[in-house]
Chain A
């Protein structure tokens, strides 16, 4: 493999693995240009070219940044296609795919651009060319791909191909090879979209439909339909029994449509299952839209679909049922389908994901006469009796996902039954307890998580069934004592139950049980590790107002007094103990706990081996002994305060126990939306001539000029001025803000990292402060800066906020020639000429190019004056030729010779960095197009 090849494979590989990173290091336009150049290169092999197309097939919008760019790229690709020998079929197929992707995503197809119409013509040609029948060649796969491209075009831009409906129908019928599937797919989607479009037209009826199918619609329309107003036709029209489908009233007279539908249905068997479902679904939509066609036309397919082992085929039958309810499925059929679903949900030969999907279908079963009002909530079908559902009872042999899905389904069944003492519910509870036993005997993490989810699911449905819930609580406490490392799971479960079942007292019952279990453990049996978990649980228990804390405190004092546990100098454990104490300080029954708590705190502050713990304990002790409970609570309560309590919040940060809350209290707050922004400061008209006409002529202008760059800092920065202002939002909290620290982060690697900047203050009513950025380019490309700020408000809060991105345009990087100010214009022109000659002669990175546009004499001067004056070297009042030199740090130049010729103005450009030329080009395009417009008026 040549180095070029491996280089390209590597580049495309790194682009695909992380496009944003790749593009931050290079310029998307340049990358695209190089890709296209390589695609045209005859030396590159087609297998490499296949790889080169993949970025365009996957990320066209990242490479073609604008619609015109998409158009250009498509034209380029089409010329590659035209030159590609027919034998390289795979590459040609991939080209068609790339073209489809580029044209659709750049919305060229939507606006029917020239390239997209050319492409449609090209693809149609391939699709119609059936000469390969005799040759039996690889051309077929090209036709298959072309059909799929047309299908995708029609899918993305509905009714694009309506005018070709009859032609496509003919091609479909003609094709007898395996390719006919591709034609069926194409014909079906065009048919469906055409019918949909008709259904949207007021007054359309049987005659219109007939004309459409016969290809005799009025010829004045464009060959490719322009797009309808809405994109509603994009989505599925089958929304279940409650969705409404647009209808086309034809009366019973739609023979032609019926015969097309029957012939498509007859052939459906010949399609792959994956494509059969597309066909059947599209036809379902058509039948649903045209009441003149009875749904019974689909009936012959049903048995085959309901008996299948393919999940998608069965599913399409279910969707048909949703669309047609009892006009296609009798009550008996309905019972059969549901029974079949239950069978499929546990059939031993099916895969787990399929079975779970079928179970989901049971929960959203399309009933003929639904009782609920069609919201997306799960509802059990009436016909699903507990007896039928019993086939789906969970067992320990199920994998986690299946067990949970079955448990949920059966919970719904028994909940609906309302039978509390039933055997079904008892069975579910037994299974839960067996699972608990598995956890007890050392089940792995997956089983543990499954168990807690199952237990929580059970609680959600049956928290009112006392016997089971209290039993579960007891079992969980026992489980905890054997496996204290389950503490986070139990705390999580208590939290979630409290949140979801606010009226139930189960969680506090569980916590009470845990407290009892922990405090009754003799200290001699405690291990250090278990103790850590116990303290975490006790801290959570102490948050419950109605649970007495005396036993917890007794436990704490026995723990810290115990010599067998080396709590003595252990900071972590000390902190856990303090964590419990802190929660107890907030407990409403604190008054009665004063003495034991004070004892513990005093013991810690005197005897604990860690100074930090001692200090903390001493602080808590003094708070406890000096403050009234009311004040204590007000000081320690966290989180719940809002609005006017900010000062308190700030003080509290130092009174926190070691907990996750600590960090969140100390960090800056995040604003919900941007409140600051940087806008370009208005340019002060710099009338100062950029050179002195009386300056000195220099002999070796070019050499002197270059010598300046021996200082690496010379002319390496671009000063940009911005104003820092408030955004439109009017939150009065931010009217006056202070100590603003702006942080800039780059989105690419073309610039050196910017340093943070400080702005002392920003008041809404005062003039905005000016922020001077000094950008230091490595490559002078346009860029975008992410900006964030940290600041303080009057009430002393710290805030962090994101500012809207600042875009640095290409022309903002322009600097005048950095020649010494005392140089005469002639010397500058000398530098220009020498640079120009050098670029034209060298084969290095330099390049020349020409840009032309229509501009009248005065507008050219106005343009120069407005945009290029600081860079103009020749006399602005001159007539012949204007010379412009733009310097781009660190050491790039763009030179322009502008001359008004007879027909147009020629911008001859040269640059010592060829990668700048696309930017110059688009810059000139922008500035001159403004002018041209103006010239028109």
Chain B
């Protein structure tokens, strides 16, 4: 249940790879040696490890189209655990790796069960521990979701030795590196008998406040085709920021659904949730829908950590997509006729923070003459001349329907960017929108059902938001890829 070594690698599309940080844990290595006996494989020095990781991830020699070692068609699971081939028959396994942009985080967990024959990953607790640790390290180094920026990353890397001294001094991770908490924070004392959670680095003093935000994300694939069923799905996350006094204060947040709402499925909760009702976990998207399924209210009693956290996440099956679209392309004597219509569903609030449709024309020459008519909003051609951006603003017109007609002649010389999923009549519109104060599933947090068991009456804030992601409307006159097999089988 420990790590033998840790590496942080950066590279530029496979080139100029370098080890930005590495750490060995010799006492874990001592155990590895004694556990593995004659099948022990020592950890090589940094530079061969770097080359092997890049090779196994298919990143080495990016300019060579085929390298036998890298591109062999034999399938070996490479993620999340790599097997690095060393000299002769020896291999280093399992090297866990997590990549984000040009940064690769890797570690080698200790195999604490007999290593011959090779045990399955699933039998090694250190593997899931390693994954959790790497994910935490990633958040520490890059923040959530952001791209690695040079200076910020460098300063975080410089902090790493002292951070590791706290969270993983000898190879057994005690915690993930904490973001925003100074490495040598002084821990507030708890005077009473209540033990302080190890994941809470101090105590809040001052006005109590609970902020709960529900963000739903909708994805969709619309084909505008009789033979192909349109798809959409919704998933939500509930994020909390709680400032409540006490060593282990109790807070309960309740998610509610409207009368006829379909149940929340696939619920995952944060480890700070103290207890769970089994009925909350029963509904799942991989099951046949059970009409008698539990549909709330969903109670989550928990004791909050100091930092903002994701209380829970869920998926939901909603009856209609928020925006229904139709996209039709026709090649006509050297020009492309484009017809788009978008219709906002009547149940969705017509107040957007933004709404934008992107129409890429990749793998073609640049757009020359573009003749566009829209019923609402503005259309722009991007500088690279391969993308139409149709900004729809904050509101759909009263009819809740907008159209775009265009005739495009591709006359430019230099070819634009390529996307194999956007060639010829295989083309799509991508919708980007954000609607404040609604959720598609109808899920909401009632302020009055947020209970805080503490002396002071807290301020309670709740919010909702709907976001689009991977919201595609495919050209109905071309072939389009399938996005969900479940519907087809």
The interface of chain A, by Cβ under 8 A from chain B, is 16-20, 50, 54, 57-61, 89-90, 93-94, 97, 100-101, 104-105, 133, 136-138, 140-141, 144-145, 148-149, 151-152, 155-156, 175-182, 185, 231, 234-236, 239-240, 267, 269-278, 281, 303-304, 306-316, 318-319, 322, 336, 339-340, 342-344, 347-354, 356-357, 360-361, 363-365, 375-376, 378, 386, 388, 390-391, 393-397, 401, 404-405, 408, 423-424, 427, 430-431, 434, 437-439, 441-447, 449, 452-453, 455-457, 485, 488-489, 492-493, 496
Contact = CB atoms under 8 A, between A and B. Distances in A.
Contact of B114 (A60, A178, A235, A365): A235
Given A353-B131, A390-B485, A485-B65, A235 B26 contact: no
Nearest to A402: B79
B122 A180 contact: no
B363 A349 contact: no
A492 B73 contact: yes
The 7 closest A-B pairs by CB, nearest first: A393-B485, A353-B80, A181-B198, A315-B128, A309-B268, A364-B122, A401-B79
A360 B23 contact: no
Given A339-B287, A343-B266, 14 more contacts: A58-B25, A105-B30, A148-B169, A152-B27, A177-B196, A178-B200, A278-B129, A312-B132, A343-B284, A360-B77, A441-B426, A449-B70, A449-B71, A492-B68
Contact of B420 (A20, A270, A309, A441): A441
Contacts of A439: 420
Given A271-B198, A393-B489, A396-B481, A136 B96 contact: no
A356 B79 contact: yes
Nearest to B193: A176
A404 B75 contact: yes
A347 B265 CA distance: 10
Nearest to B284: A343
A375 to B, nearest CB: 7
A878 B47 CA distance: 59
A180 B117 CA distance: 38
A19 B31 contact: no
Interface in B57-94: 58, 62, 65-66, 68, 70-75, 77-80
B389 interface: no
A104 B35 contact: no
Nearest to A408: B75
Contacts of A185: 174
A140 B196 CA distance: 14
A270 B27 contact: no
Interface string B473-489: 00000010111111011
B131 A311 contact: yes
A431 B174 contact: no
Nearest to B171: A152
B275 A304 contact: yes
B266 A443 contact: no
B70 to A, nearest CB: 8
Contacts of B286: 339, 342-343, 388, 391
Interface residues of B, number: 127
Interface stretch (B158-166, B328-336, B340-348): B158-166
B38 interface: no
B270 interface: yes
A193 B112 CA distance: 15
A267 B274 CA distance: 12
Contacts of B123: 239-240, 319, 322, 364
Contact of B169 (A93, A140, A310): A93
Contacts of B237: 349
Nearest to A389: B286
Nearest to A488: B66
A740 to B, nearest CB: 25
A177 B165 contact: no
B69 to A, nearest CB: 11
B363 A312 contact: no
Interface stretch (B183-191, B378-386, B401-409): B183-191
B285 A90 contact: no
A151 B196 CA distance: 21
Instruction: Tell which of A278, A312, A375 has the most Cβ of chain B within 10 Å.
Output: A312
B73 A496 contact: yes
Contact of B315 (A140, A347, A390): A347
Nearest to A449: B71
Contacts of B30: 104-105, 156
Given A178-B200, A353-B98, A489-B73, A430 B482 contact: yes
Interface in B11-27: 19, 22-27
A274 B71 CA distance: 36
Nearest to A107: B30
A57 B484 CA distance: 50
Given A18-B47, A60-B26, A390-B486, A276 B271 contact: yes
9 contacts: A19-B45, A235-B114, A318-B122, A339-B286, A348-B315, A357-B121, A376-B120, A397-B470, A438-B421
